[in-house]
Amino acid sequence: MDALEQKTHLLQQQIAFNQGMAHEIRTPLQVMSHSMELISASAPELASLKSYHRLDKAIARMHRLSSALLWLTSDAREQHTTQVRHVLDTVLSESQALIALHQIDVRINEPDPPKTLSLPIPEVVLELVILNLLTNVIHHCQTSEADKYWQISISQSQIRFCNPTVQTPNDTSAHDNFGLGLQLVAALMDKFNVGFEAQQNNLVFSISLRVNKPLP
């Protein structure tokens, strides 16, 4: 089996595992959701606590992520249009505590006035990708003495994410320590005809998602 066949086989195994995991976690998530509803109905004073709302949001996010994983093997041919800045703002808002804990400086660059960037991808899938990019940033910033930043550049045709890394550029470094795995992300982007590129240059890791020409 050559290197390409091995990569394809590994990717298929990862897709099957993630699909199975997405199905398996739906039942406990549903139980947790019902439990939260019972708490809200029987103990309104608890439902007003900030900790309750944080848990409720976390469960809702897990529901969305499990749905995103199922797209890996879905044969659906639906049309999607998602505003990138809206999803990005949602992820950043829900991850404020995590970003503050790790002292990540989030820098967003976009034209003035801003240009709307939309990608033909389900909102839950884009959220999953951005969350895993954030996980990647946190890992690299934990192991780096350099400036802890996450630079996000948005134009009318693409969004680019950059962060520092201490790894030496090589064929596999861009794939290391990435939450979902860059091969899975690439497979998702290919499924929805979204351009995807991962690079590492001069201790800077970057990922670009761009608008591709419509399929014939």
- Residues contacting 32, CB < 8 A, separation 6+: 59
Measured distance CA(152)–CA(97) in Å, rounded: 19
Contact 202, 165 (CB under 8 A): no
For each of the domains in the chain, give its residue range(s) and CATH number, in order of start: 3-73 (1.10.287), 82-211 (3.30.565.10)
How far is the C-alpha of 160 from the C-alpha of 157, rounded, in Å?
10
Kindly report the number of other CB atoms within 10 A of residue 212's CB atom.
16
Cis bond upstream, residue 113 (ω within 30): yes
User: Tokens representing 58?
Assistant: 């976390």
* Per-residue pLDDT tens over the stretch 1-39: 566 666 666 656 666 666 666 666 777 777 888 888 888
**pLDDT tens per residue across span 91-147:** 999 888 889 988 899 999 998 887 889 999 989 889 888 988 888 888 776 666 567
Pull the structure tokens for residue 72.
Answer: 């890996």
| E runs forming strands in 15-166 | 82-83, 105-109, 118-119, 149-154, 158-164
